[in-house]
Structure 1
Amino acid sequence: MKVDQKGHTITIKDTQGDFTSFLMKVTHQYKTFEKHNIIIDLLHHKDLTVDDVKLFLPLSKQHKKAKKSFIIVISELDYNAVPDKLTVVPSLLEAQDIIEMEEIERDLGF
C-alpha cells in the first residue's frame, strides 16, 4: 500500500495486487486518514466487479458524514451499476477535480 499526501488529499494505492488485503488495510488504518479527502487508486486492478467496489461503501458513508471527499478510481467498470452513494471515476485527474468541486460546495455551505 502506497500513501501519497498532497495538501488536504491522500491518495491510497494498492501496490500488492491483493484487493481483499488492501481493503482490510485501508479499513484498519482509516483513523490515520480520516481528516483528509481520500482517493482510493484501484487502476491496477482489471478484474474487479461492482460488488468488490461496493465493499468500500461503509467507509465512504462514514467519510462523507465527516464532510470529506471519498473517491474511488478504477478504469474498467460499469459506472451505471455503482450505487449513487459511491463516487467512482476512471482517472486520478477526474478524482482531483471532483474533490476541488466538493471543497467549493462545502465552503459555500451546500
Structure 2
Amino acid sequence: MIFTKEGSLIIVSQEEISIERFLQNLENEYAKLKNDNLVVDLLGFSKLTPYNVISFLEISRKHKKNEQSFVLVSDKVSYDDVPEEINLVPTLQEARDLIEMEEIERDLGL
C-alpha cells in the first residue's frame, strides 16, 4: 500500500492488486490510519463496479463514527450508483475539497 500524508489527510493507493485484496490490506492497516481523514484512491483500478465501491461501506461507517472523513476516488463508478452514505468523487482534488468542507462542519458543530 502507498500512503501519502497531506496535512490532515492520508491518501491511500495501491498498484497491481485486486480490489478485494486492496480492501483487505486497508482493513489490516486501519489501526494506523483511524485518526486521520482518509482518501482512498481507486483511480488505478481499470475495472471497478458499484459492488466494489459498496464493499468499502463498513470501513467507511467505522471511520465516520470516529469523526473522521472517508472519501473514495474513482471515475469508473457514478456516485448515483452507490448508497448516499458513501463519499465517492471522481478526482483527488474533489476529495480534498470534500474533506475540507467536512472539517469546517465538524468545527462548527454541524
**For 1:71, what is the secondary structure of its paired residue?**
strand
Once the two structures are TM-superposed, the CA of residue 22 in structure 1 deviates from its matched residue by 0.8
**For 2:88, what is the secondary structure of its paired residue?**
strand
Counterpart code for 1:98: L
Pairwise CA RMSD of aligned residues?
A: 0.8
Range with bigger deviation, 77-86 or 55-64: 77-86
Structure-to-structure mapping, 1:25-104, within 5 angstroms: 25-104=25-104
Counterpart code for 1:81: D
* Paired residues, number: 110
Range with bigger deviation, 15-24 or 65-74: 15-24
Unaligned runs of 5+ in 2: none
User: d(CA) in 2 for partners of 1:26 and 1:84?
Assistant: 22
Residues 13-51 of structure 1 deviation map (CA, whole Å, 9 limit, x = unaligned)? 012232111110001110100000000000011211001
User: d(CA) in 2 for partners of 1:78 and 1:99?
Assistant: 19
Counterpart code for 2:23: L
User: Runs (4+) of structure 1 moved beyond 2 Å?
Assistant: none
Match of residue 7 from structure 2: 7
TM-score (norm 1): 0.96
User: d(CA) in 2 for partners of 1:31 and 1:17?
Assistant: 21
Unaligned runs of 5+ in 1: none
TM-score (norm 2): 0.96
Tell me the percent identity: 38
